[in-house]
Structure 1
Amino acid sequence: MNWNELLRLPTTLLVILTGVVLLLALAQLLAARQHVRNRRHLAATGHSLLLVVCLLAAALLGGMAMSLRGYRFLSEEEPVVQIDSRILSPQRWALTLTWPDGDTRNMMLAGDDFQVDAIVLKWKLPAMLAGLPPLYRLDRISGRYDDASQETTAPRTVIDFSRAGAGDLLDLKKQMPSWFPEVDTLFGSGAFLPLVDGGHYSVSLMRTGALVARPDDATAQRIGQPLGG
């Protein structure tokens, strides 16, 4: 990742701002101590008040950075994850997930299809006009049965990606909506596709917030084959 990409991440910018504010708080602390030594109590009080303001601002910025951890900018179409499937037994699959940064994760899934869900954050119009793009984070992957009746009787697989930070925006927006006035909406988006042995799938997210799953050509041909073909 180059510096331009790094500086596009909202978490990085918030961390940088938190550091700057903490430096300002340190400067106010040193100035207040100096004025106390010189018995300039009024000036010391002023710097002490600025110190408190800086600390509160740093706490707010740091909290926002933690809540945004796990979110990514959403461009016209953002690659989310690659999925490779291998059959173990009927309706039992081994999946390998590969993220754009190269991280991988192996998991077992029950069902006929996989379903990937994401949480998408959209900003209000002023922020959008300023060029602030939507954000997203992966939420979970689950197994899905073609027969709806199996959903209530067959084993279910739901795997949490657990990539949100402490005090996630979804929870904070529900608990303290007035703290995030520029957030227009937080909503879920999902996509699913049939699983085939040796399948390879690409999952991406559109700027509109729609999650899209696509098989490669060989996988698409296998999906299109009749049962037993």
Structure 2
Amino acid sequence: MSLSAWLWLGMLVLLALAVPAWGRRRGRRRGGPGPGRRLLATLLFLLALVLGLAGALMHSWHWLHEDVPVAQLSLRQLGTQWYIGQLQVGDGPVREYELRGDEWQLDARVLRWNLPGQLAGLRPVYRLERLSGRYGDPKQDLAGQRSVHDLREGWETWQIRQRMLAALPFADARWGSGAYLPMLDGARYDVFLSPRGGLVAKPADARTEALLREAGW
């Protein structure tokens, strides 16, 4: 169980102790709780509030340092510098794209929040723009066969929503971000959005890690 869960559990225990302390005393004397019990109940309530707030902050802080899954990409080689990429964005369907070159690249546009917005539970807003193939040699990139695929679905709606969100006082910055890694036959990659709002690509399994080592990455 996470630290935030333990803090919230402690809050519930303190509340369970504080509520009876405010109840009426049983016995021969009339009236409500005495000054001592009232003071104890107040302290328990305050401590429960502190634990609850600390749990909320720890929960937010935990995912502030956690990458958000964005997409998965699997590669199958058809020929020299020629691949089929199977891309799954979130829980959406798997789609195939023809890619040419030595490396794949995924680009996105990102809207990031400042710290108060992040602590309030707002995660970066992003929209994937394109998946493309690129050559390791920039000169070949100028003359080689290009492969660029538009991933912008509902782009006009995104543009309007992005402008509205960017006007909020806790919006931090807007920028483009991209991640790329080698295209290798049988490789599988996971793509994440980092807490700072940048795309990060990682090998999805041990086989891909071994392929990257063999390729000198």
TM-score range for the pair, normalised by the shorter chain length: 0.5 to 0.7
* Unpaired runs of at least 5, structure 2: 1-63
Aligned equivalent of 1:27: none
1:102 shift after superposition:
4.4
The separation in 2 between residues aligned to 1:220 and 1:96, in whole angstroms, is 18
Aligned equivalent of 2:186: 198
Aligned equivalent of 2:86: 96
1:101 shift after superposition:
1.0
- Contact map agreement 1:82 1:99 (CA 8 A) in 2: yes
Return the index of the structure with the highest Cα Rg: 2
The separation in 2 between residues aligned to 1:212 and 1:165, in whole angstroms, is 23
Query: Cα distance 1:128–1:168, how it changes in 2: closer, same or farther (>3 A)?
Result: same
Q: Does residue 145 of structure 1 match 2:135?
A: yes
Alignment deviations for residues 122-158 of structure 1 (CA, whole Å, 9 cap, x no partner): 2345534533222112111111111111111101111
The separation in 2 between residues aligned to 1:107 and 1:226, in whole angstroms, is 23
Q: Does residue 119 of structure 1 match 2:123?
A: no
Q: Does residue 76 of structure 1 match 2:61?
A: no
Query: Cα distance 1:170–1:217, how it changes in 2: closer, same or farther (>3 A)?
Result: farther
The separation in 1 between residues aligned to 2:103 and 2:188, in whole angstroms, is 13
Alignment deviations for residues 180-206 of structure 1 (CA, whole Å, 9 cap, x no partner): 555332111111110111111111111
Aligned equivalent of 2:11: none
**SS state at 2:138 partner:** coil
- Contact map agreement 1:170 1:186 (CA 8 A) in 2: no
Matched AA of 2:136 = D
The separation in 1 between residues aligned to 2:166 and 2:198, in whole angstroms, is 27
Alignment RMSD: 2.8
The separation in 2 between residues aligned to 1:93 and 1:85, in whole angstroms, is 7
- How many residue pairs get matched? 153
1:26-37 correspondence to structure 2 within 5 Å: none
The separation in 1 between residues aligned to 2:113 and 2:191, in whole angstroms, is 23
Q: Does residue 189 of structure 1 match 2:177?
A: yes
**SS state at 1:191 partner:** strand
Query: Cα distance 1:218–1:209, how it changes in 2: closer, same or farther (>3 A)?
Result: same
Q: Percent identity?
A: 41
